[in-house]
Chain A
Amino acid sequence: AMQQKRLDSFFKPS
């Protein structure tokens, strides 16, 4: 099934 990714898994906190 399609899973909605979260932004945190692409961009790191600065």
Chain B
Amino acid sequence: MFEARLTEGSLLKKIIEAIKDLVQEANVDCSEEGLTMQAMDASHVSLCSLNMRHGGFDHYRCDRSISLGLNLANLGKILKCAGNDDVVTLKAEDEPDTLTLMFESPNQERISDFELKLMDIETEHLGIPNEEYKCTISMPSGEFQRIVRDLAVIGETCIITCTKEGVKFSVSGDLGNGNVTVRQSSAADGDEKDQVKIQMEEPVTLNFALRYLGFFTKATPLGSTVKLHMSPDVPIVVEYPIDGIGSISYFLAPKIDE
């Protein structure tokens, strides 16, 4: 028996919105520790990794580890039937063919349940080493979204350069070129969540497809902060912490000049 209850059901809506344009089908693994999902996009250029700890749920029970093969677009359709203030409960048997979703309005006046058919999904699970990155940038997620959106109008590839002073995002295209530099905040600059913080061992410059960075920014509503982890010649990690429950991280392979 698997049962997971989230008072803030809208969180689940936001999570699926953040994944479904990149990944169509995915296995969500449920264990005593919580929910995890790892899935690559169809071209195997990027990967999305979701982690929701059991302690972040209002109620969590998982007697036996199970894998839920989900069509994310279909799950998104069902979650659209939930109100934004609804409590959402997920339920499945030990060898499930379906996932039950129950939505309860805050005053308990409306209770609905839906069953989503599960699928057998063959996926390749990639082993991602726990690595120390040369640069870690923490910045407001809305700022990152704006930069990616603005630069995508000009070209396809973004050069991200991180130094101690700041992070530079550069693009060039047929119409011209552009740069946006965000500088490290000084300690006195306002709210923690509005700050740009850079931890750097050595400067890093990497090239990335803006199209994919744009997919990742669908996670912006999940939190005020995004973290970018970079080292030379390896995939970037774009991490959105989800307050009190876990995180969603995207890995994107760089473009390399050959």
Residues of chain B lying within 8 A (CB to CB) of residue A2: 157, 207, 255-258
CB of B45, distance to nearest CB on chain A (Å): 6
B46–A7 touching, CB < 8 Å: yes
Interface size class of A (residues with CB under 8 A): 10 to 19
Out of A5, A11, A12, A14, name the residue touching B254 (CB < 8 Å).
Answer: A5
B255–A7 touching, CB < 8 Å: no
Residues of chain B lying within 8 A (CB to CB) of residue A9: 253
Out of B46, B125, B251, B258, name the residue touching A3 (CB < 8 Å).
Answer: B258
Considering only residues 92-138 of chain B, those with a C-beta below 8 Å from chain A are 124-129
Report B's interface with A, CB cutoff 8 A. 40, 43-47, 124-129, 157, 207, 209, 234-235, 251, 253-258
Q: A6-B45, A11-B126 are in contact. List 18 more A-B contacts (CB 8 A).
A: A1-B258, A2-B255, A2-B258, A3-B257, A3-B258, A4-B45, A4-B255, A5-B253, A5-B254, A7-B44, A7-B46, A7-B253, A11-B47, A11-B129, A11-B251, A12-B126, A13-B125, A13-B127
Q: List 22 A-B contacts (CB under 8 A).
A: A1-B257, A1-B258, A2-B256, A2-B258, A3-B255, A4-B45, A4-B209, A6-B43, A7-B40, A7-B46, A7-B47, A7-B126, A7-B235, A8-B126, A10-B234, A10-B253, A11-B128, A11-B235, A12-B127, A13-B125, A14-B125, A14-B127
